[in-house]
A = this chain, B = another copy of it.
Amino acid sequence: MTYQEILANARTCVGPYCKACPTCNGMACKNTVPGPGAKGIGTGFIRNYQKWQELCVNMDTICENKPVDTTFSLFGQTFALPVFAAPVGAMQLHYGDKYDDLTYNDILVSACAEAGIAAFTGDGTNPAVVEAAVKAIAKNHGHGVPTIKPWDVDTIRGKMDLVKTADPFAIAMDIDAAGLPFLKNLTPPAGSKTVEELRQIADAAGKPFILKGIMTVRGAKKALEAGAAGIVVSNHGGRVLDQCPATAEVLPEIADAVGGKMAILVDGGIRTGMDVFKALALGADGVLIGRPFVTMVYGGGAEGVQVYVDKLKAELADTMAMCGAHSLADIDRSMIFSK
């Protein structure tokens, strides 16, 4: 199947909220929650997408003609390209009955490992979700990143003990999930954590710990202080707070502040290898992509994941070649056009 065929096929089984649009940009699903849209007036998702498009790249083909290498290393692991599948949850609520979280993660984790990348898995009120994710990651030799919600610290410790049984190469927590409805008003309370609490959690992880949901330099420095091995610059795709800046807007300053001291990943509106190139040029080490992997799995299962990863890799390699970058390390901010 081609990418277009998989997308067309997805249109027959996702929904009714997601339209599996030719370009996944937040327009058609604006503020549809449940569904893939964003919170409030719904412009968070759209802005994430749009700000990548506003960036232009500096073409320069006067350079040595040799193959480009998209190989990416993180925490001792090597990946085919600097892309991860982002954690997505409550599949049936948001994307339709075809897959529950357990089946979705099972397909996604294996397909990503097979395609040379890795998937982040989600978390939910149903403990079975993480249990199944752990099985999928274990089955794929730790090639997956279990992502735990910011429950109370005791609950988190329990979840940490569980996910470590899969020997994942990293463990993540989406600290911004405090804005999701199902995490509000729990007893004991879920949500925000202090630096001290995060340090305890990072210690409990016993693996490189990634903090997802950082949108400010101050937040990034607190994550570093808490001992996180990496962050995901993310506004949760616009789903936890309306009217955040786009991640492309805050990434450069954050990269300037903590780059080199911890891994910097970014998500939000990244759709093509060109977008991946831009994220790296602005200072990210790698990216997470969410919604497109959903439509690929709904429309093509494991094959959909492979086709999309191949597409991303080809686009990234083409952009690198046209801008004179032969390895990811060659990509820097001078390759972005500044007015």
Contact = CB atoms under 8 A, between A and B. Distances in A.
Contacts of A198: 62
B178 A243 contact: no
Interface string A24-58: 00000000000000001101000100000101111
Interface stretch (A3-11, A284-292, A299-307, A314-322): A314-322
Interface stretch (A89-97, A115-123, A158-166, A214-222): A214-222
Nearest to A221: B62
B57 A241 contact: yes
Given A241-B57, A243-B56, A63 B176 contact: no
Contacts of A147: none
Contact of A226 (B62, B211, B272): B62
Contacts of A125: none
Interface of A: 23, 40-41, 43, 47, 53, 55-65, 150, 175-176, 178-179, 189-195, 198, 211, 213, 215-216, 218-219, 222-223, 226, 235, 240-245, 249-250, 272, 274, 318-319, 321-324, 337, 339
Given A59-B216, A62-B193, A191-B321, 17 more contacts: A47-B56, A53-B243, A57-B241, A59-B215, A60-B219, A61-B192, A62-B194, A62-B219, A63-B193, A64-B192, A65-B178, A65-B189, A65-B191, A65-B194, A178-B322, A179-B318, A243-B274
